[in-house]
A = this chain, B = another copy of it.
Amino acid sequence: MIGIFDSGVGGMTVARAIEELLPAAPLLYLGDIARSPYGSKSAPTIIDYSIENTRFLVDNGAQVIVIACNSAASVASERLRQEFHLPIIDVIVPAVAEAVRGSRSGRIGVIGTRATIQSGIYEREICREDPTCRVFSQACPLLVPLVEEGWGDRRETKMILRRYLHPLQNQQIDTLVLGCTHYPLLSDLIQPRIGRRVRLIDSSRATASHLRQQLADRPALLARPGHQPADNRYHVTDCTETASQIAQRIFARPITLLPV
């Protein structure tokens, strides 16, 4: 079974991408809504939460872990790999690989929560992959609450996005990493604002295909006979109406959110 965790419902964009690419893979999701969001919290706190989440998934049968939260992946990946001896895949490495592979100018933008941007993880990972790249980062702390309010098409959201993207617009980037799992829900707004010639990297899709590659030698994890996406289990630490609505919007089907 593939275990996935996120601070809330944003990581369901990753789960959906995995469902699309690997429909026969059994998924177990944990959204830590009771302590969400992570992006505004300190690294030690995010690490503690990530360990607890991973333990829940492992105790419930997960054999591989997907950290579907950029904030958690930014500060807790290394620690989780020390604590848990099973494959741990995060949303950052696949997005970085895709960004570096696709960028011609080597000028790459990254947007994310405050925790993600402050960690500097994207700069480090991109420069490790290709030291000639230049990375331009921008924290966009209000985008998560705006998405969670369902304000994706509001004028105020467009204005706030314009303000956040402005510093990146003068940097001639040709690639922009959406470094938060909520942001793909805003890509229709981001693309025209950052420019049509800038390629957006949606880490959810990159992560799903990275997962498939990484587990190619363990086909039993990627497919269980007769398994269907509707059999996947979506757990949350707090069950709110807003969360149910966002889940339904992401999957375009009714999702039963289960308690932990």
Which residue numbers of A lie inside 8 Å of B, CB to CB? 33-36, 40-42, 45, 114, 141-142, 145-146, 148-149, 151, 155-156, 159-160, 163, 237-240, 242
CB-contact partner of A149 in B35, B141, B149, under 8 A: B141
**Chain B residues near A156 (CB-CB < 8 A):** 156, 159-160, 163
Inter-subunit contact A240/B40 (CB<8 Å): yes
* Structural contact, A114 and B242, CB atoms closer than 8 A: yes
CB nearest neighbor in B for A162? B156
A160 to chain B, nearest CB (A): 5
Contact across chains for A239 and B42 when beta carbons are under 8 A apart = yes
Task: Tell me if B149 and A159 are in contact (CB < 8 A).
Answer: no
How many angstroms between the C-alpha atoms of A160 and B146 in the bound complex? 11
Residues of B contacting A42 with CB < 8 Å? 238-240
CA distance A174 to B210 in the complex (A): 59
Instruction: Assess whether A41 is in contact with B145, with CB atoms less than 8 Å apart.
Output: no
CB of A145 within 8 A of CB of B155, answer: no
A142 neighbours in B (Cβ, 8 Å)? 142, 145-146, 149, 151
Across the interface, A148 reaches (CB within 8 A) one of B40, B160, B163, B242, namely: B40
Question: Is A238 touching B141 in the complex (CB atoms < 8 A)?
Answer: no
Query: Could you show 11 A-B contacts with beta carbons less than 8 Å apart?
Result: A33-B41, A35-B35, A40-B148, A40-B240, A41-B240, A42-B239, A42-B240, A45-B237, A141-B149, A142-B145, A159-B159
Closest 10 CB pairs of A and B: A145-B145, A45-B238, A35-B35, A34-B45, A156-B159, A156-B160, A42-B238, A42-B240, A156-B156, A41-B238
